[in-house]
Amino acid sequence: MDTESPSSPDNPLIIQGGMGIGVSNWVLARAVSMSGQLGVVSGTAIDTVIVRRLQDGDVGGHVRTAIEQFPIPGVGESAIRRYFLPDGRPNAAPYKMLPMQKQVVSAARQQLIMLASFVEVWLAKHGHDRPVGINLLTKVQMPNLATLYGAMLAGVDFVLMGAGIPREIPGALDAFAEHRPASLKFDVAGLSAGETESLTFDPRLHFPNASTPLSRPRFLAIVSAHSLATTLARKANGRVDGFIIEGPTAGGHNAPPRGELSLNNLGEPIYGERDVVDLEKVRELGLPFWIAGGVGSPEGLRAARAAGAAGIQVGTLFAYCSESGLAADIKARVLSGVRANGVRILTDPRASPTGYPFKLVEVDGLDSQDERRVRVCDLGYLRTPYRAASGKLGYRCPAEPVDAYVAKGGDVADTVGRRCLCNGLAANIGQPQRRSDGDEKPLVTSGDDLVSLGGFLGGRERYSSTEVIEYLLSQTGASIAGPAV
Ligand SMILES: Cc1cc2nc3c(=O)[nH]c(=O)nc-3n(C[C@H](O)[C@H](O)[C@H](O)COP(=O)(O)O)c2cc1C
């Protein structure tokens, strides 16, 4: 194989892709990093994930152990006081909720986000010295700065962000390394010409005694077009260290096709020639890159290396391994569907409130969220801000109750077919909110490769992340790392 770009902890052959909410948790990321590749925790909605772990009794005590290491006094104690239930929720009562994000929130709310991302990264890094990354969605703007600072307090080594254009993130990482404030342009609908809004996070308000600089993580932008890679390499407000080039077969959200949207007979977006990334143009940028989407195989790794990539980013194969955060019953159901050739992947252009196509797993016996769900918006990560007639900022989500969305100036057409990703994805990891009519139902996502996972699975009912890595490396001559301490 092509060995021109050598692999190293900073240039791994395999990146285990970030998978939200809580699918790529600290257990998975730690296992992957300890095997010598790059493990990545998901930082999306990590505050809710952590307070729900506390309310479910924090089995094993991991969250509380990490909380003890948080350097800002009082924050962890207050989270434990408010959310920790030693015996779990009584009679599976509903989870206690966090206040939803807004442009400006209380210091305590910001600190909870910092604490949560600190906990997840600290746990993933605990007991070894190999790099760990965190993944965030650019479009989920409001919690991102506090999440990044919390992750940096835990020494995160890589930040990987897509789903939007993360132009201002590299500069924010530079600022946070020196505990300086950082701002992002806040995307608000309905601003008048020339008007701008921003999101600001100032570490010194929370951690006035911070003196030692933090190490600045490497920043990898996840993109689906070489033009975007070029723009980021030239115009980001700080250093971009590499790219993940993600194609439309990848699990989770996909970039929409370029040009006018046309759909196949299943209602899925049709991708064409214009969506193929020109890797020659990416190579010319001179930065390392990894290919993602449908390349989770030894052949995929080989082809990526031959094309000049440092390696591959893989999601789907890792999502179903024993260490991932997906609920055990969902894993078992989907894997048995795979063995019976009974799974389908639908790329749904409407489901996600973000407006990006989102891949949904369909398998017999998996009771997924559908249009019968009684709409309620109480997690609110995908709410978008708008300028209300009163002049204030309001927040709306096309998956919230239709009347409320329309009353906030939203177009009723935007609400059609939308799913509540926030509650669906929380249900995927065994943290469904309890409603009067039962638990929230899951919304499982995977890449197109799920249907062919049977070849890797063989007769097994389960597999570990180490087995995934051994399989992916099997044509390279590289091997699993020795003990990492
Ligand atoms: C369950 C699941 C959740 C995902 N969530 C995210 C996410 O939160 N952020 C992100 O950037 N990518 C997300 N992805 C994409 C992966 O990080 C990765 O790029 C992709 O899965 C690679 O393609 P593959 O699925 O064919 O292996 C997700 C993928 C899966 C399967």
pLDDT in tens, 200-247: 999 999 998 888 999 999 999 999 999 999 999 999 899 999 999 999
CA of 243 to the centre of ligand 1 (A): 15
Q: Give tens-digit pLDDT for 132-156.
A: 999 999 999 999 999 999 999 999 9
Looking at the CA of residue 23, tell me the nearest atom of ligand 1. Answer: 1
CA of 369 to the centre of ligand 1 (A): 20
Q: Name 14's Cβ contacts closer than 8 Å, sequence gap at least 6.
A: 32, 37, 38, 301, 311, 312, 313, 314, 469, 472, 473
In the predicted structure, residue 6 carries a pLDDT above the cut 70? no
In the predicted structure, residue 4 carries a pLDDT above the cut 50? no
CA of 250 to the centre of ligand 1 (A): 6
Helix ranges, 348-400 (H): none
d(CA 313, CA 290): 6
d(CA 229, CA 223): 6
Query: By alpha-carbon position, which residue is closest to atom 6 of ligand 1?
Result: 19
Query: By alpha-carbon position, which residue is closest to atom 4 of ligand 1?
Result: 19
Q: Give tens-digit pLDDT for 175-193.
A: 999 999 999 999 999 998 9
Residue 390 CB burial class (10 angstroms; 0-12, 13-18, ≥19)? exposed
pLDDT band at 472 (very low <50, low <70, confident <90, very high): very high
In the predicted structure, residue 481 carries a pLDDT above the cut 80? no
The pLDDT of residue 30 is 98
The answer to whether residues 56 and 88 touch, using CB atoms and an 8 Å cutoff, is yes
Mean pLDDT on 306-327: 97
- Specify the residue for token string 């999502």: 319
CA of 291 to the centre of ligand 1 (A): 12
The pLDDT of residue 485 is 43
CA of 251 to the centre of ligand 1 (A): 5
* Structure token pair of residue 185: 């342009």
The answer to whether residues 157 and 218 touch, using CB atoms and an 8 Å cutoff, is yes
Residue 163 CB burial class (10 angstroms; 0-12, 13-18, ≥19)? buried
Fill in the amino acid letter for 137: L
Q: Name 392's Cβ contacts closer than 8 Å, sequence gap at least 6.
A: none
In the predicted structure, residue 372 carries a pLDDT above the cut 50? yes
Looking at the CA of residue 449, tell me the nearest atom of ligand 1. Answer: 26
CA of 394 to the centre of ligand 1 (A): 30
The answer to whether residues 396 and 410 touch, using CB atoms and an 8 Å cutoff, is yes
Mean pLDDT on 149-177: 96
Looking at the CA of residue 161, tell me the nearest atom of ligand 1. Answer: 11
The answer to whether residues 21 and 118 touch, using CB atoms and an 8 Å cutoff, is no
The pLDDT of residue 8 is 76
Q: Give tens-digit pLDDT for 398-437.
A: 999 999 999 999 999 999 999 999 999 999 999 999 999 9
Query: By alpha-carbon position, which residue is closest to atom 3 of ligand 1?
Result: 19
Helix (H) or strand (E) holding 392: none
pLDDT band at 81 (very low <50, low <70, confident <90, very high): very high
Instruction: Provide the mean pLDDT of the chain.
Output: 94
d(CA 73, CA 67): 10
Looking at the CA of residue 294, tell me the nearest atom of ligand 1. Answer: 26
Query: By alpha-carbon position, which residue is closest to atom 7 of ligand 1?
Result: 19
Query: By alpha-carbon position, which residue is closest to atom 29 of ligand 1?
Result: 251
CA of 3 to the centre of ligand 1 (A): 26
Query: By alpha-carbon position, which residue is closest to atom 30 of ligand 1?
Result: 251
Q: Name 408's Cβ contacts closer than 8 Å, sequence gap at least 6.
A: 386, 388, 394, 395, 396
CA of 18 to the centre of ligand 1 (A): 6
The pLDDT of residue 482 is 60
Query: By alpha-carbon position, which residue is closest to atom 10 of ligand 1?
Result: 18
Q: Name 329's Cβ contacts closer than 8 Å, sequence gap at least 6.
A: none
Does the pTM surpass 0.95? The reply is: yes
* Structure token pair of residue 332: 């078992």
The pLDDT of residue 146 is 98
The percent of residues in the chain predicted with pLDDT above 70, rounded, is: 98
CA of 208 to the centre of ligand 1 (A): 37
The pLDDT of residue 209 is 86
Tell which residue, 223, 264, 226, has the closest CA to residue 244: 223
CA of 430 to the centre of ligand 1 (A): 19
Fill in the amino acid letter for 28: L
d(CA 83, CA 216): 31
Best residue among 220, 312, 316 to mutate for probing ligand 1, ranked by most atoms within 8 Å of CB: 316
The ligand 1 site (C-beta within 6 Å) comprises 17-20, 23, 42, 44, 135, 137, 162-163, 222, 246, 249-252, 292-294, 296, 313-316, 319, 445-447, 449
CA of 315 to the centre of ligand 1 (A): 5
How far is Cα of residue 339 from the mean position of the Cα atoms in its chain? 27
Mean pLDDT on 344-361: 95
Looking at the CA of residue 295, tell me the nearest atom of ligand 1. Answer: 26
CA of 35 to the centre of ligand 1 (A): 20
Distances (CA, A) of 21 to 16, 48, 326: 15, 9, 9
Looking at the CA of residue 42, tell me the nearest atom of ligand 1. Answer: 8
Strand 343-348 and strand 358-363: the pairing is: antiparallel
In the predicted structure, residue 2 carries a pLDDT above the cut 90? no
Residue 398 CB burial class (10 angstroms; 0-12, 13-18, ≥19)? buried
Length of the chain: 485
Q: Is the bond into 312 cis (omega within 30 degrees of 0)?
A: no
The pLDDT of residue 9 is 74
Best residue among 14, 16, 19, 422 to mutate for probing ligand 1, ranked by most atoms within 8 Å of CB: 19
Residue 350 CB burial class (10 angstroms; 0-12, 13-18, ≥19)? middle
Taking the CA of residue 47 as centre, how many other CA atoms within 13 Å lie in the half-sphere pointing to its CB? 25
d(CA 31, CA 466): 8
The pLDDT of residue 340 is 92
CA of 202 to the centre of ligand 1 (A): 30
